[in-house]
């Protein structure tokens, strides 16, 4: 393949060197946000490299200094929701298939999660076999702030986090650094940002284990481990209302701040998110969770809160969304259940075995 050229205008840069295939998301001015075409191009590259014996390792990274990927193109989602189109559902169908493929990829898939890694950026990295964070890493699933629900397998990953940390991150959309990403199972190793280029180069010449051994270090301390003293008992409650009440009553200033933060999120998105994470824990393999997320995402596309959240945060930037319903008390069980309703012939069907904990290298 041709050498990478960040100025080429291509949104995906592909290069092979030695034993590695390098995949670079190349929309730095848009924080490398994913488009449908980028998802399809990544999938094509994975197909080519899966069958190329010269490629032993795949490396994904982001162009520029700001991050791997900030998610999907939510302006496009807003326009699609406004016009009643199908482009978003079509995009999610292929994106979630790609997420599942990354999780099952037969060769080491190394994600360099430097800088901002949010939403869809988590989907193309945190399902990989080796996830590397740095001191600049900012990892999050911030969907409830725009009236949406964590997707791209996010509810699967957060459902596996220790205690109730996953529920906390899903509801609040809180951004975590390297140590907390490691604690929550969203990453595997810490490498300082300045050493990531050398790590990437080493992967062309040696095994993944050999390259990591040269560069992995201990991350700066995080904050979630100690915060579990209040996060776990508060977020173990059965409902968002009770979680909010426990946060207020805990007497911990950080918990009170979290309670206030929740009130700024979409009430519907909060309740659907809690149900999504709790259901994900019972569904089994990633594929089943992605199927559930597809139902939820398609339902959200028809919900007023998604359009309103994107409007307030991205289009008009007034930061004052008018949620409908406006309060948690107004969101009933039927309102939540409809997000999980079967889609009939529009279902995302991802047949696959349960995940093995063994890696083939």
The number of residues making up the chain comes to 361
Q: How far apart are CA 49 and CA 84, in angstroms?
A: 37
Residues of the chain with pLDDT under 70: 1-9, 351-361
DSSP state string for 204-228: TTS-HHHHHHHH-BPPPP-SHHHHH
Comparing C-alpha atoms, which of 289, 292, 281 is closest to residue 103?
289
- 21, 62, 71, 72: the active-site residue: 72
DSSP state string for 290-306: HHHHHHHHHHHHTSHHH
Per-residue pLDDT at 82 = 87
Query: Around Cβ 244, how many Cβ atoms within 10 Å?
Result: 20
Q: Is 293 a catalytic residue?
A: no
Per-residue pLDDT at 7 = 54
Q: Is 95 a catalytic residue?
A: no
Crossing angle of helices 267-283/240-249, nearest 10°? 110
- 56, 80, 151, 287: the active-site residue: 151
- 143, 287, 291, 293: the active-site residue: 143
pLDDT in tens, 298-311: 999 999 999 999 99
152 neighbors 96 (Cβ within 8 angstroms) = yes
What does pTM read for this prediction? 0.93
Q: How far apart are CA 120 and CA 239, in angstroms?
A: 27
Q: Is 72 a catalytic residue?
A: yes
Query: Around Cβ 320, how many Cβ atoms within 10 Å?
Result: 9
Per-residue pLDDT at 5 = 55
């Amino acid at each position: 393949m041709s050498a990478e050229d960040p100025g080429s205008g291509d949104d995906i840069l592909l290069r092979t060197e030695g034993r590695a295939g390098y995949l670079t998301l190349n929309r730095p001015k848009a924080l490398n946000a994913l488009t449908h075409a980028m998802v399809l191009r990544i999938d094509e590259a994975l197909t080519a490299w899966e069958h190329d014996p010269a490629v032993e390792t795949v490396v994904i990274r982001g162009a520029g200094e700001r991050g791997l990927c900030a998610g999907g193109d939510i302006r496009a989602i807003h326009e699609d929701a406004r016009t009643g189109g199908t482009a978003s559902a079509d995009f999610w169908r292929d994106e979630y298939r790609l997420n599942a493929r990354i999780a099952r990829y037969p060769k080491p898939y190394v994600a360099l999660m430097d800088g901002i890694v949010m939403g869809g950026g988590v989907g193309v990295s945190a399902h990989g076999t080796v996830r590397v964070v740095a001191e600049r890493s900012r990892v999050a699933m911030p969907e409830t702030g725009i009236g949406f629900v964590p997707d791209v397998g996010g509810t699967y990953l957060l459902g596996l986090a220790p205690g109730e940390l996953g529920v906390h991150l899903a509801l609040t959309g809180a951004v975590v650094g390297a140590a907390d990403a490691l604690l929550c199972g969203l990453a595997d190793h810490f490498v300082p940002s300045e050493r990531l280029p050398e790590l990437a180069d080493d992967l062309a010449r040696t095994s993944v284990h050999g390259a990591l051994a040269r560069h992995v270090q201990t991350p700066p301390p995080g904050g979630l481990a100690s915060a579990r003293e209040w996060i776990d008992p508060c977020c173990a409650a059965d409902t968002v209302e009770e979680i909010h009440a426990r946060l207020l009553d805990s007497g911990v200033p950080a918990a009170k701040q979290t309670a206030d933060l929740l009130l700024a999120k979409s009430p519907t998105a909060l309740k659907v998110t809690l149900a999504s994470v709790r259901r994900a824990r019972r569904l089994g393999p990633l594929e089943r969770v992605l199927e559930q997320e597809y139902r939820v995402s398609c339902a959200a596309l028809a919900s007023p809160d998604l359009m309103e959240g994107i409007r307030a945060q991205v289009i008009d930037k007034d930061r004052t969304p008018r949620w409908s319903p406006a309060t948690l008390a107004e969101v009933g069980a039927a309102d939540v259940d409809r997000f999980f309703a079967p889609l009939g012939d529009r279902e995302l069907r991802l047949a696959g075995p349960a995940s093995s904990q063994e890696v083939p290298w």
